[in-house]
Structure 1
Amino acid sequence: MENEGDVPSRGNPHRDAGSFLARVENIVGKQRLLTDLDTRRLYSTDFSEIEMQTAIAVIRPRNTQEISEIICVAAETGVAITARGGGMSYTLGYVPRDENTAVLDMTSMNAIRIHAEDRLIEIEPGATWAQVHEALRSTGLRIGCMGTMSGIAATVGGGLGNNATGHGRGDITDDLMGLEAVLGDGSVILTGALSTNPERPVLRSYGPDLTGLFTHDAGVFGVKTRAVFRLHPKPEGVAFVCYGFADASDLVRALCEVERLGVMASNMAFSNYHHRLFATMKPSPDEAKAVARSVMEMAPSKLRGLSSLFSLARPGGFNYLLKWPFSTFGVIDAYDQATADKMARAAGAVMRRHGGVKLPSSLGVAFRAQPYMPIERLMIGVDGECTIPTNCGVALSQSEALLNAVENFFAENEADMKAHDVTWTRLFLTSKGGFGMEPILYWNDRPSALRMAQLSSERRAEFEAKPENKSSRDFALDLRRRLVERVDTLHPYHFQIGKYYDYHSALQSDAAWRALVKFKDTLDPSGLLNPGGLGLG
């Protein structure tokens, strides 16, 4: 018997994978229907290291019509569908939970259309943040949220399903005007401003706005095929606030007080592990030229640009970070340089009051010029370890409680971590009145096929003969699970939910859960869209 609030089992009991594959081949063509085992396994895993089901196929649709037809066939044949972007999930976001699941590889749908006069940009879900950044480079315009550090591979569609934040101001929803998505019966829905004016979407909430229901939804309500965002002029004034800290509590207090000022576009902090990472990064000549070009383009004046380049070219690179346990870099955008500098002075005074020591601005300059890190540096550690993050955020008033909970947890597990050769570090981020912390675990192991796929051929050769270390991996995954349980008493929010976090228990209203279940049943009556995402289906 089902308990109140449980999700009923749904789906077509008659599953005909053979018929599904044959009919989909007629829709997309043989070259865009991949059924070899290696590809299916690769596209059925994420960085969580948790194994579920292997997809029956990887499909590469080219447009909304093809996706609509594929979903109609899936509903008729009982096959489930998950949509995958750049594959940067670490919460089982697109990983098939059920047998007879096909994965839509959305990266072929990556068109970007800029409507500068109306200050709008239309983006297909397979476009990466780096591609959007490049498309806007010469326009003098940008989206407030510039995406995640993994933006070389992470896509806008994945960001919509996971509420991306990171570089720039706020999160992905702040400038989102509306969405196009394909529902579980193959019909196409337009939301927000697109629903009333698809050609010139201006007012998102003209009547009830459904857009929010399709964001941070882990893809369970529809396959997103198009999004429109509001654009803003690039700021004429840019300033950087970079400080070193000896103590984590002082750093957190400074970050939160600066967040309350409301002056920062980005406000991130790192600990000593990432200082080592930055100190070892040596850009190629081509990468250095690209960064130099970006620095000059974003500078409010030639003199300011040359000053920023000088900061980047300082002897020793980022080695100055190695003396500090913690560092923070903030970016301030303003109408003009005088205003940006005034805001930076106010933020700097807060940093110094909490024990911060002013650092060169090179880290801030580097991240604004090139916001996205090579994926292999995110998924493989400095010493060749495998890595996995866990993000959690709380209200500013709870920041020290979260810090203490995390620090105490790792102190309690220090001996066992040492025995299993597992280490950790953390990132910090404040945004929209919240404080975020991202503990990252590292363990020595042979990289998974997904991690190996992110490596250059030269680096891949380093790991080919490396043995698996299942004991350390299992310990790290269990440590992560227990960490999530420890901080859950603070009711944290997470930027990826997927199938990993217990979203049902996080909701403080039973009525909200029942409404979501009914909404899912209405939009996806066969329960075929990413079963298990958010705990639905």
Structure 2
Amino acid sequence: MKTSAVEIAGSQLAAFLEEARRIVGPERVATDEATCRLMSVDFSEIALERAAAVVRPVATAEVSALAQAASRHQVPLIPRGGGMSYTLGYAPARPGSVMLDMRGMNKILSIDLDNLTLTVEPGVTWAEIHAALLPTGYRVGFMGTMSGIQATVGGGLGNNATGHGRGDIGDDLLGLEVVLPDGRILQTGGRATSPALPVNRGYGPDFTGVFIHDAGAFGIKTKATFRLQRRPQGTAFVCFGFRDLTAMVDALCAAERLGVAATNMAFSDYHHRVFSEQKPTAAEKQAMLRAIVASAPNKLAVVRQLATLALSRNMSFLKKWPYSTFSMVDAFDQASANRGARALAAEMRRFGGTPLNRSLGIVMRAEPFMPIDKLIVGREGECSFPSNFVVPLTKGQELVAACDDFFARNQSAMAAHGVTWTKIFLVAKGQFGLEPIIYWQDRMNPLRYSVLSDGNRDKWGKRPDRAEARAFAVDLRRRLAEALEPFHPFHFQTGKYYSYRDALASAAEWELVEGFKSLIDPPRLINPGALGLT
């Protein structure tokens, strides 16, 4: 009697898991349904396959041995970081896939202030890096995503993370250590010639960029070295309110062209309500006080920032405004930061902005990382997912208008399903970024439930299943991406959601990507489906 393909795959998986238990120990191999289900879903609400097992390595040698075993037994491997994906980044596309939970590789290996480098493992979170560097007076230029309490360096590298600080994750990256699909260990950039002390990515061809925003398709990142920079000794905050959307977008773009701010963001009325409704506990207020004292560049700045917060009255002033911008100006000293802030404020006034209390900027610099449930769950416990679209500054107005028009055309159907939306704006590096966020009432999938605080689990953890509303929201998000595709937007966090192949200028680019994947991973075992590489 012939052996079926399913039986062969099952025996290969069993053989791999037997090896995996020898490599990492049986306690770091999980096959129970609850763990595999939790680790297989993301915030996209699109169901693919469920992982057959979850393996938790803690060292590069273990990752290499696991990749070799997976190659021998033809078992798909998927690296997973903090799980903050909303684009199916680590969701298994093939049955029988094994998830590598990289959070166990969470060491900060080196903070070298003499040579201005930081080396970390991929499971380190941005919040952990922030806390470790704060006493040193140094930082990485890109300081992490808003989800940095849980989001990891490895996930950020695979998604080309952007957020706090100026630029994105690759700007200060000196090199990587990557385990290739066959288990070989590759050093890139400055690490290729000097793994212990990388200085420059440019000695010969630099392959570091190939592994940035690869969605984990080309290998498993096990170390990253970043350039450090001196923490600014002066910081000023600029916040303005706007009544008119067009004027606000023009002002935001003008702020980016001025070039004095490390961060330029804007919010609309939904987030104004979120910020104004927050009522911190006594413990949270004490934590904020400690954070301000630790992060402010000097003692006078501490006094000024605390006085500003005292006048803000929980940011209730924001509810009066449909739009607000906030910017952070960093400089060598406070006088220089203040000069930059005055120039930026003049630009905001030129477009009709009104100065606001600067408390929002102060809070976000002191505590840059938000609780995950505040990011991914709405004010009333709604499920949500964002999308992101990045275009040149000159296309920002058209992109916003097209986005608003799309939701206006769908408003009746959205109301029928209880679906709402809002948007966030970000400019950086000559780019205009728009992040529409869709909300709907529904049950919490395992990942959403896992990030809820205890209080919010009591309030929202047992919501009824609203499959019809969820399906509508998923389709609405898909159609939004289609509607804005004529702008040829850049997307962060491509994963398995955005069509990378269709975005390329010609067949030559895709042939190169395909060829590289075939060279290093002929059987397509590392995160199959990522970037559209099936």
Question: Can you list the C-alpha shifts for 1:440-486, whole angstroms capped at 9, x where unaligned?
Answer: 00001111111010012232122343211111111111000000001
The answer to whether the 8 Å contact 2:82/2:155 transfers is yes
SS in 1 for 2:444: coil
Structure 1 residues 432 and 15: CA distance shift in structure 2, 3 A: farther
Match of 1:480 among 477, 480, 484: 477
1:186 — aligned with what? Answer: 183
What TM-score results when the alignment is normalised by the length of structure 1? 0.96
Structure 1: tracts of 5 or more residues without a match: 1-11
Equivalent position of 2:67 in the other structure: 71
Q: What's 2:3 paired with?
A: none
Measured against aligned partners, the alpha-carbon deviations of 1:235-284 in whole angstroms (never above 9, x if no partner) come to 01101110111121111110001101111101111111111111122233
**2:300 equivalent to 1:303:** yes
Shift of 1:315: 5.5
Q: Is the 8 A contact 1:179 1:227 kept in 2?
A: yes
The answer to whether the Cα contact below 8 Å between 2:312 and 2:357 also exists between their aligned partners in 1 is no
**SS of match in other structure, 2:427:** strand
- Counterpart of 1:90 in structure 2 is 86
Pair 1:107 & 2:103 matched: yes
Deviation of 1:13 after TM superposition, in Å, equals: 7.8
- Which residue does the alignment assign to 1:42? 38
1:426 aligns with 2:423: yes
One-letter identity of the residue aligned with 2:426: L
Matched with 1:383 is 380
Q: Deviations over 1:119-154 (max 9, x none)?
A: 100011000100000010100000001111111111
**Displacement after TM superposition at 1:387 (Å):** 0.7
Q: Aligned partners of 1:475 and 1:426: how far apart in 2? A: 19
Separation of aligned partners in 2, 1:105 and 1:300: 37
In the TM superposition, residue 15 of structure 1 has moved relative to its aligned partner by 6.5
SS at 1:235 equivalent: coil
Once the two structures are superposed, what CA deviation does each residue of 1:217-236 show, in whole Å capped at 9, x if it has no partner? 00001100000000000001
Q: Give the match for residue 50 of structure 2.
A: 54
3-state DSSP of counterpart to 2:412: helix
Q: Which amino acid aligns with 2:103?
A: T
User: Which of 9, 22, 25 is matched with 1:26 structurally?
Assistant: 22
3-state SS, counterpart of residue 58 of structure 1: strand
- Pick which of 275-284 and 72-81 moved more: 275-284
Q: Mapping of 1:368-407 within 5 angstroms? A: 368-407=365-404
> How well do the aligned residues superpose, as a CA RMSD in angstroms?
1.2
Q: Which amino acid aligns with 2:514?
A: V
The aligned residue for residue 152 of structure 1 is 149
SS of the residue corresponding to residue 313 of structure 1 reads helix
User: Aligned partners of 1:72 and 1:477: how far apart in 2?
Assistant: 37
Q: Measure how far apart 1:298 and its partner are.
A: 2.9
Partner of 2:447: 450
Matched position secondary structure for 1:231: strand
Asked if the contact 1:499–1:534 (Cα under 8 Å) also holds between the matched residues in 2, the reply is yes
1:14 shift after superposition? 9.0
Tell me if structure 2 keeps the 8 A contact 1:15–1:100: no
Q: Secondary structure at the match of 1:83?
A: strand
SS in 2 for 1:91: coil
Secondary structure (helix, strand or coil) at the match of 1:383 reads coil
Among residues 219, 224, 244, which one is paired with 2:221 in the alignment?
224
* SS of alignment partner, residue 339 of structure 1: helix
- C-alpha change, 1:484 and 1:315, in structure 2 (3 Å) is closer
Amino acid of the structure 1 residue aligned with 2:229: H
Distance 1:471 1:401 in 2: 32
Note if contact 2:148-2:369 (Cα within 8 Å) is conserved in structure 1: yes
CA distance in structure 1 between the partners assigned to 2:327 and 2:120 by the alignment? 28
State the AA in 2 paired with 1:362.
S
Q: TM-score scaled to structure 2, two decimals?
A: 0.97
Gaps of 5+ in 2: 1-7
Q: Counterparts of 2:427 and 2:328 in 1: how far apart (Å)? A: 12
The whole-number CA distance in structure 1 between the counterparts of 2:107 and 2:67 is 21
AA in 2 matched with 1:49: E
2:268 corresponds, among 267, 271, 286, to 271
For residues 117 and 283 of structure 2, the distance between their equivalents in structure 1, rounded to whole angstroms, comes to 31
Aligned match of 1:321 = 318
Q: Please state if 1:140 is matched with 2:137.
A: yes
Amino acid at match of 2:261: M
3-state DSSP of counterpart to 2:135: coil
Query: Shift in Å at residue 295 of structure 1?
Result: 1.6
In 1, the alpha carbon distance for the partners of 2:377 and 2:45 equals 13
CA distance in 1, matches of 2:408, 2:312: 37
Instruction: State how far apart, in whole Å, the 2-side matches of 1:66 and 1:298 are.
Output: 38
Aligned to 2:5: none
Structure 1, 393-402 or 461-470: larger mean CA deviation? 461-470
